[in-house]
């Protein structure tokens, strides 16, 4: 099925607008040549009876963003990606009794403060916000899986967010240009499981990431935000704020089944697309988008620099509705809810349809499919005397009914967040997560050599927020029935993550 003429014309129009700027920006990226996209086997994540002979491959990291403009406040999320970091965020706690390492975290606070001041000075003078995010994960499986081993992975996202109002007088517009550099090995390839154990295991190498214009405007009492250019879908769809705090690639940011079942993209992969989010009254928001799904999306030579749009490209259409209520909050005189009171939540339902794209899961030749998801995050309890101390929970599911293109037709996930419960560590969070995926019947006919059933993962992680920019995160995961294979022992994974974000 070929991309519709309407979608093609819209994308071609934006190609003309951005092409000149794109070429210059791409060449300016350090090491932009020689970038690599996940291999076809990585995208399909084909099961094997011996992970020593075939690697499962990369699961694209799901970036941490607000799914709607009315999402939970930033302190619920710990991290932010290149776009979310442009928003004003509530500072972390500065309580005098907060425990930290000697000498201001051994000088880390002073260093981060200096970098932050330099960022602010550049932004104030030029309208350009420089951003940088670094995710490093070291994990080992001392027990279980097909093989035991240790792997390190890292992902860097860097770029500019240009305030076009300050630079050109273009009201409420921003131009975002970003790149990525990634390296490391896939521990899941040794284990032989489907849910990638490291969120930072992505396509290795340097590449152009996003290049788009964002336009904000007020319409009918609400706010409309539109993006046009090279964008990733996870910037708008399929993510809850709390999920960005987990280490497992199976759940961090966007639950992983949608990547196996469709041409869904996240960092560091972006294609031509257009999307809009409208935030209406009463904490409601709606989003829709259409995106290019090029045939070479899973090519090992992908570097993000191929700007062409072809009639042979596929497409991906997405929609989402979200509700972000605050229950039991104290009211101001005008009826609005006071800040830092009440129980905040995010509820989402969404779906997708794609055509003209072969997922590569099976050799049946079908090139279209669809799926749905529903998920929620809700604060269940909050300390009246300390709003930064609270208990939250999340729950969600994905379904992709078209068996001929679907590797994992069902996925479910749930967990809890304990924020501010550790004495003298008010910004730290403890997270417990569960996720499970059930494999397609067609998976059992794809020459895997066994009857694939389901895989489940439980994770416990502790986010140690050293300061506003740096966190350490010890992590433990236990994988039940790796890739639905009874012949592989359940697996223990231990390790940790370092995040640096400016």
* pLDDT tens readout for residues 231-282: 999 999 999 999 999 999 999 999 999 999 999 999 999 999 999 999 987 7
Joined together, the tokens standing for residue 254 give 């966007």
pLDDT tens for residues 448-462?
Answer: 667 889 999 999 999
Number of domains in the chain: 1
E-strand stretches of 408-482: 410-419, 429-438, 454-465, 470-480
Q: Are 65 and 274 in contact (CB under 8 A)?
A: no
The reported pLDDT for the residue numbered 486 is 87
Q: What is the mean pLDDT of the chain?
A: 81
Tokens 């706690």 appear where? 93
Average pLDDT over residues 48-63: 32
pLDDT tens for residues 300-347?
Answer: 677 899 899 998 899 999 999 999 999 998 888 887 788 888 999 999
Cross-strand partners of 349: 321, 374
pLDDT band at 414 (very low <50, low <70, confident <90, very high): very high
Identify which of 222, 294, 220, 248 has the alpha carbon closest to the alpha carbon of residue 433: 248
Q: Which residue has the higher pLDDT, 43 or 474?
A: 474
The reported pLDDT for the residue numbered 446 is 60
Task: Give the percent of the chain with pLDDT over 90.
Answer: 63
CATH number at residue 128: 2.40.160.180
pLDDT at 422 over 70: yes
Average pLDDT over residues 20-41: 32
Q: H or E element: which one contains 18?
A: helix 5-28
Q: Are 223 and 278 in contact (CB under 8 A)?
A: yes
CB atoms within 10 A of CB 53: 8
DSSP string, 171-231: TTEEEEEEEEEEEE--HHHHHT-SS-S-TT----EEEEEEEEEEEEEEETTEEEEEEEEEE
pLDDT at 370 over 60: yes
The reported pLDDT for the residue numbered 366 is 62
Task: Give the percent of the chain with pLDDT over 70.
Answer: 78
pLDDT at 362 over 70: no
> Residue 113: which residues within 8 A CB-CB, separation 6 or more?
none
Average pLDDT over residues 362-378: 85
Average pLDDT over residues 59-70: 33
The reported pLDDT for the residue numbered 213 is 98
pLDDT at 41 over 50: no
Tokens 């705090």 appear where? 245
Q: Which residue has the higher pLDDT, 42 or 277?
A: 277
Query: How many angstroms separate the CA atoms of 390 and 33, rounded?
Result: 46
Tokens 């989003």 appear where? 287
Average pLDDT over residues 91-120: 78
Model pTM score: 0.81
The reported pLDDT for the residue numbered 364 is 59
Percentages helix, strand, coil for the chain (3-state, rounded to 5) are 20, 40, 45
Give the residue ranges of DSSP H helices in 305-423: none
Q: Which residue has the higher pLDDT, 104 or 389?
A: 389
CB atoms within 10 A of CB 345: 21
Average pLDDT over residues 475-485: 95
Q: 494: exposed, middle or buried (C-beta count within 10 Å: 0-12, 13-18, 19+)? A: middle
Q: Are 266 and 297 in contact (CB under 8 A)?
A: no
Identify which of 211, 202, 136 has the alpha carbon closest to the alpha carbon of residue 179: 211
Burial code of 201-235, b = ≥16 C-beta within 10 A, e = fewer?
bbbbbbbbbbbbbbbeeeeeeebebbbbbbbbbbb
> Residue 404: which residues within 8 A CB-CB, separation 6 or more?
362, 364, 366, 369, 442
pLDDT tens for residues 161-198?
Answer: 999 999 999 999 999 999 999 999 999 999 999 999 99
> Residue 363: which residues within 8 A CB-CB, separation 6 or more?
none
Owning domain of residue 198: 5-501
Tokens 């694939």 appear where? 452
Q: Are 331 and 338 in contact (CB under 8 A)?
A: yes
Query: How many angstroms separate the CA atoms of 488 and 491, rounded?
Result: 9
DSSP string, 275-319: EEEEE-STTEEEEEEEEEE-TTTT-TT--S------TT-EEEEEE
The reported pLDDT for the residue numbered 82 is 32
Cross-strand partners of 351: 319, 372
CB atoms within 10 A of CB 30: 8
SS (H, E, C) 137-186: EEEEEEECCCCCEEEEEEEEEEEEEEEHHHHHCCCCEEEEEEEEEEEECC
DSSP string, 27-40: HHSTT-TT--PPPH
pLDDT tens for residues 119-152?
Answer: 999 999 999 999 999 999 999 999 999 999 999 9
Q: Are 345 and 318 in contact (CB under 8 A)?
A: no
Q: Which residue has the higher pLDDT, 50 or 90?
A: 90
pLDDT tens for residues 74-94?
Answer: 333 333 333 333 333 334 444
pLDDT tens for residues 294-310?
Answer: 988 877 677 899 899 99
The reported pLDDT for the residue numbered 336 is 79
Cross-strand partners of 120: none
């Amino acid at each position: 099925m070929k991309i519709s003429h309407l979608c093609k014309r819209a994308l071609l129009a934006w190609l003309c607008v951005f092409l000149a700027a794109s070429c210059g920006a791409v060449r300016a990226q350090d090491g932009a040549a020689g970038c690599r996209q996940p291999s076809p086997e990585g995208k399909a994540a084909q099961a094997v009876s011996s992970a020593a002979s075939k690697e499962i491959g990369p699961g694209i990291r799901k970036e941490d963003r607000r799914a709607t403009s009315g999402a939970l406040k930033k302190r619920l999320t710990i991290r932010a990606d290149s776009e979310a970091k442009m928003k004003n965020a509530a500072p972390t706690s500065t309580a005098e009794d907060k425990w930290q390492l000697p000498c201001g975290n051994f000088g880390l606070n002073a260093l981060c403060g200096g970098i932050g001041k330099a960022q602010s000075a550049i932004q104030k003078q030029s309208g350009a916000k420089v951003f940088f995010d670094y995710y490093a994960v070291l994990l080992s499986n001392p027990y279980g899986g097909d093989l035991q081993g240790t792997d390190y992975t890292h992902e860097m996202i860097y770029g500019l967010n240009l305030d076009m109002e300050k630079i050109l007088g273009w009201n409420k517009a921003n131009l975002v240009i970003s790149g990525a550099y990634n390296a490391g090995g896939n521990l899941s390839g040794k284990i032989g499981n489907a849910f990638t154990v490291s969120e930072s295991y992505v396509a290795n190498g340097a590449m152009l990431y996003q290049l788009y214009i964002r336009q904000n405007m007020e319409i009918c009492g609400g706010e409309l935000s539109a993006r046009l250019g090279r964008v990733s879908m996870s910037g708008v769809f399929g993510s809850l704020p709390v999920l960005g705090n987990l280490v497992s690639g199976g759940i961090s940011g966007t639950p992983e089944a949608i990547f196996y079942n469709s041409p869904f993209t996240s960092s560091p992969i972006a294609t031509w697309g257009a999307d809009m989010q409208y935030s209406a009254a009463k904490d409601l928001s709606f989003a829709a988008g259409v995106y290019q799904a090029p045939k070479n999306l899973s090519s090992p030579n992908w570097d993000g620099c191929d700007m062409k749009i072809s009639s042979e490209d596929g497409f991906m259409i997405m929609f989402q509705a979200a509700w972000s209520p605050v229950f039991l909050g104290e009211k101001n005189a005008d009826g609005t809810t006071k800040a830092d009171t009440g129980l905040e939540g995010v509820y989402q339902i969404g779906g997708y349809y794609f055509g003209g794209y072969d997922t590569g899961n099976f050799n049946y030749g079908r090139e279209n499919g669809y799926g749905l998801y529903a998920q929620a995050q809700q604060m269940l309890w909050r300390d009246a005397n300390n709003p930064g101390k609270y208990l939250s929970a999340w729950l969600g599911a994905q379904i992709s009914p078209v068996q001929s293109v679907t590797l994992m037709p069902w996925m479910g996930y749930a967990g809890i967040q304990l924020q501010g419960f550790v004495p003298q560590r008010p910004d730290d969070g403890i997270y417990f997560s569960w996720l499970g995926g059930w494999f397609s019947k067609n998976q059992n006919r794809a020459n895997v050599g066994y009857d694939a059933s389901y895989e489940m993962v439980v994770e416990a992680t502790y986010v140690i927020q050293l300061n506003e920019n740096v966190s350490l995160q010890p992590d433990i995961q236990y994988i039940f029935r790796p890739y639905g294979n009874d012949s592989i022992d359940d697996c223990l994974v231990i390790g940790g993550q370092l995040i640096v974000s400016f």
